[in-house]
Amino acid sequence: MVTCLQTVNPFTRDANPTLPVTPIANMDAIVARARVAGAQWMALSVSERVERLEGAAARLQEEASRLGAIASSEMGKPLGEAVGEAKHCASSFVEDLRSVASALAPIKREDERVSSTICFDPFGVVAAITTWNFPILMLQQSVLPALIAGNAVVAKPSEVTPRVAEAYYGILNEFLPVDLLAIVIGDGAQGRALVASSVDLVVFTGSRNTGAHIAAEAGKRLARVILELGGKDPMIVLADADVGKAADFASRNSFRNAGQVCVSTERIYVDHSIAAEFENALVERAATLKMGDPADPTTTIGPMSSARQKAIVESHIADAIARGARVLYGARKQAGNFVEPTVLAGVDHSMDIMREETFGPVACVMAFGSIDEAVALANDSPFGLGAAVFGADEDRAMRVAQRLTAGMVGVNQGCGGASECPWVGARQSGLGFHSGPEGHRQFAQLRVLTRKKPKS
């Protein structure tokens, strides 16, 4: 039985400090204690819960550098970006709490006969199982709405980034009753045990395969799920697009965080009339990126989070080359956990790299002959998280965007919506979603309370 979780710095390959693994035999007791703590927490009003947690914002701000440094040492993100993620979470913390609170305010509905109130009640105990690529943001997104809705939470962070999770939850716990927010340390085995326990809602961010397993397992007892899963985001570059701006976006969105972003641009479809110009522009931008030590402020691409992740990316690149893809930039073997920013052209849908999630710093360009063909190619995927369309005629680009099967589509920009918009995937990229009033309400059980209207 493994008793300690050992992570390794993906750049230095030094061992990070270990954490004790949560014994699976303890899982039911942890959930039971959370349920007891939750009974008192759910008796508070939404605004009382917000008040209790608000103080954590200042503490997160104070600890942002430490949180960022731990995250970077665990998953290799450039230090500046990791600290930026921690600071973003701290500075949006109070706004996030208030956004959830306002979404959970009771809603009145009435007709000529009756008047109803839609109330948002806690489910009970929420399991928050998270991934490592934005190791602080993922925690905040999963846990704040659950707590403000009145639930207790048992959190199981990724085995790649357990220490930053322990530090983040430790700060929240300075403001919360004992046992209300419990943390379970371990890997898929602990995750499976948590899903199999009596938790009422599983909030999960991770891969499609694990999401399918959780849906099946939770489905056995009809426990609720919110699953935010992987993607294979397409980008369509129309003939009239500003090639420089499209290449800027493609480079940024294919390579940031070493491509380990759920809404990374993983497939680029370019009108054949501008394909060569676009490819050159993309290569120029890829060549400006600097791979190296995450602690060096000039580094833009750190190592992959793990040797396992590197192996997946390398196997996709090798498969594409074997099937005829042209290497326009990169693809050379690198030491350690690094994968060089890589631009491939001449790709097609027979290749793993155009069908499976790669999650690495690779931009794949395929030329198209008509808009119908571009739309068909973009929609030819079981995934449907984000997408982007670039074109100078925005009305036409919007019409193309409306034909894409994706939860979020950006026109001449990335897929993230305005504040208070949900973060949502279509098809196998998600089941349920978070953020915005519609997302926040999924962390609560709706109860419709109705009475007769007095006769006038």
Binding-site residue total for ligand NAD (CB under 6 A)?
30
Which amino acid, 9?
N
Q: Taking a C-beta distance cutoff of 8 angstroms, is the pair 82, 129 a contact?
A: no
- Residue 234, interface with ligand NAD (CB under 6 A)? no
Nearest residue to the partner ligand NAD, using Cβ: 191
Residue 231 interacts with ligand NAD (CB under 6 A): yes or no = yes
- What is the rounded CA–CA span in Å between residue 300 and residue 295? 10
213 binds ligand NAD (CB under 6 A): yes
Using the minimum distance from each CB to ligand NAD, give the nearer residue, 76 or 206: 206
Q: Is position 362 an interface residue for ligand NAD (rule: CB under 6 A)?
A: no
Contact 302, 314 (CB under 8 A): no
- Is position 158 an interface residue for ligand NAD (rule: CB under 6 A)? yes
d(CA 96, CA 89): 9
214 binds ligand NAD (CB under 6 A): yes
Report helix angle 371-379 to 394-401, nearest 10.
40
Radius of gyration of the chain (CA): 23
Q: Which of 384, 425, 432, 436 binds ligand NAD (CB under 6 A)?
A: 425
Query: CB within 8 A of 62, min separation 6: which ones?
Result: none
HSE of 128, CA atoms in CB hemisphere, 13 A: 29
Token match 């493609």: residue? 250
Give yes or no for residue 188 binding ligand NAD (CB under 6 A): yes
The single-letter DSSP state of residue 442 is G
By the rule CB under 6 A, 74 interacts with ligand NAD: no
| Stretch of 50-58, 226-234, 322-330, 373-381 lying at the interface with ligand NAD (CB under 6 A) | 226-234
Tokens of 187: 């890997």
Q: Which is closer to ligand NAD, CB of 49 or CB of 427?
A: 427
Q: Which stretch binds ligand NAD (CB under 6 A): 47-55, 200-208, 241-249, 277-285?
A: 200-208
Strands 201-205 and 181-183: unpaired
Q: How far is the CB of 231 from ligand NAD (least distance, A)?
A: 5
Indicate if 228 belongs to the active site. Answer: yes
Choice among 63, 81, 85, 228 that is catalytic: 228
Asked if 115 and 450 touch (Cβ cutoff 8 Å), the reply is: yes
- Distance of alpha carbon 60 from alpha carbon 52, whole angstroms: 15
Q: Does 230 bind ligand NAD (CB under 6 A)?
A: yes
Q: Name the active-site residue from 262, 314, 357, 415.
A: 262
Q: Per rule CB under 6 A, is residue 294 in the interface with ligand NAD?
A: no
Tokens at 31, concatenated: 């959930």
Q: Scan residues 367-396 and list those touching ligand NAD (CB under 6 A).
A: 385
The catalytic residue positions are 228, 262
Binding site for ligand NAD (CB under 6 A): 129-133, 156, 158-159, 187-188, 191-192, 195, 205-207, 210, 213-214, 228-231, 262, 357, 359, 385, 423, 425, 430
